[in-house]
Amino acid sequence: MNTTISGDGGPSVGWIGVGRMGAAMVTRLAEAGVAPAVWNRTRSKAEPLAALGCTVVDEIAQLRRREVVFTMVSGSADFEQVLFGAGGLLADAATLPAAVVDCSTVSAETSAAVREACDRLGVGFLAAPVSGNPKVVGAGELSIAASGPVQTFDRVAPLLHRIGRSVTYVGDGDVARLVKICHNLFLGVVTQSLAEITVLAEKGGVSRAALLDFLNNSVLGSVFTRYKSPAFVHLDYTPTFTPVLLRKDFDLGLAAARQLDVPMPVAAATAQLIQAAVSSGRVDEDFAVLLDLQARSAGLDLEPENVAVDDGLG
């Protein structure tokens, strides 16, 4: 079992899960001179990373001797499976990595159970959920919230800084999961609010492009409103994050609010509108379809605007 992370040469790194997001993050690492060994359930999705110097492995067990192993999978069940299922990363106590860094969005309960198991095995565990999508990653604008033993964070932080622009240590345990859920609650609320004011302005005779240009250059503009502007202007709902995934995070967030006795009336109302998007069948598009639903409620037929819009990512 590895007990330390190597120094001068940096740690040896493994990576589990190279879907669109995982592949973009691995690419950042590889381009910064750290080429991980990677495993993905569908090997063909991992193979292009070999051109960047990454080693593509056929079995998760081949990553056990790596000092730091990242996971980026689709949910709690997959996360537990790749760690503790047959052939899983931590299924053989004789050979274990020094640290596991999970960048997935999983429940706090699952994260806490995995943390407890890692503690028993002597493996450092860091919860490190992220804010962004593959294009944001590629632009070097990813944000990462991390929680766990501060010693593990200090060891892994140089790798995290190679992946993202902002890396914030938010505390011990699994509080990074709550931070990510709070982030996604805000994401949904802001998008719904943006949809409402955009529809209001357009029904009053203002183009979406004009409103969003003004907004993005005001004190209320943000990296997010600028990034989402092309989707609103062109009605391009190529998925970066679907309503189904957003609904999952709202369910988790509102459950945490009930547990902590925090009233969240705006988030609760937004959750119903996200559910309406799911119920309408718009499940494979970007959650920006909230704009369409808002327009329909207002009796407004939207058409794409043929205007160049800067998403702020270069």
Q: Around Cβ 46, how many Cβ atoms within 10 Å?
A: 25
| Residue 74 pLDDT class (50, 70, 90 cuts) | confident
Asked if residues 159 and 34 have their Cβ atoms less than 8 Å apart, the reply is yes
pLDDT tens, residue by residue, 241-257: 999 999 999 998 999 99
Q: What local confidence, expressed as pLDDT, does residue 9 receive? A: 59
Residue 4 has pLDDT above 60, yes or no: no
pLDDT tens, residue by residue, 177-226: 999 999 999 999 999 999 999 999 999 999 999 999 999 999 999 999 99
In this prediction, what percent of the chain has a pLDDT beyond 70?
97
Residue 7 has pLDDT above 70, yes or no: no
Q: What local confidence, expressed as pLDDT, does residue 2 receive? A: 39
CATH number of 13-173: 3.40.50.720
- pTM here is 0.89
pLDDT tens, residue by residue, 145-164: 999 999 999 999 999 999 99
Average pLDDT estimate for 71-79: 91
pLDDT tens, residue by residue, 39-53: 999 999 999 999 999
Burial of 99 (0-12, 13-18, 19+ CB in 10 A): buried
Q: What local confidence, expressed as pLDDT, does residue 197 receive? A: 98
Residue 314 has pLDDT above 80, yes or no: no
CA distances for 278 relative to 182, 270, 283, angstroms: 21, 13, 5
Average pLDDT estimate for 263-270: 98
Q: 300, 286, 287: which is closest to 206 by C-alpha?
A: 300
178-297: CATH architecture:
Orthogonal Bundle (1.10)
Q: 206, 137, 126, 218: which is closest to 170 by C-alpha?
A: 126
User: How is the chain split into domains, by residue range?
Assistant: 13-173, 178-297
Average pLDDT estimate for 274-279: 97
Give the residue, 84 or 9, on which the prediction is more confident. Answer: 84
- Helix crossing, 175-203 with 108-121: angle to 10°? 150
Please provide the average confidence, as pLDDT, over all residues in the chain.
94
Average pLDDT estimate for 279-285: 96
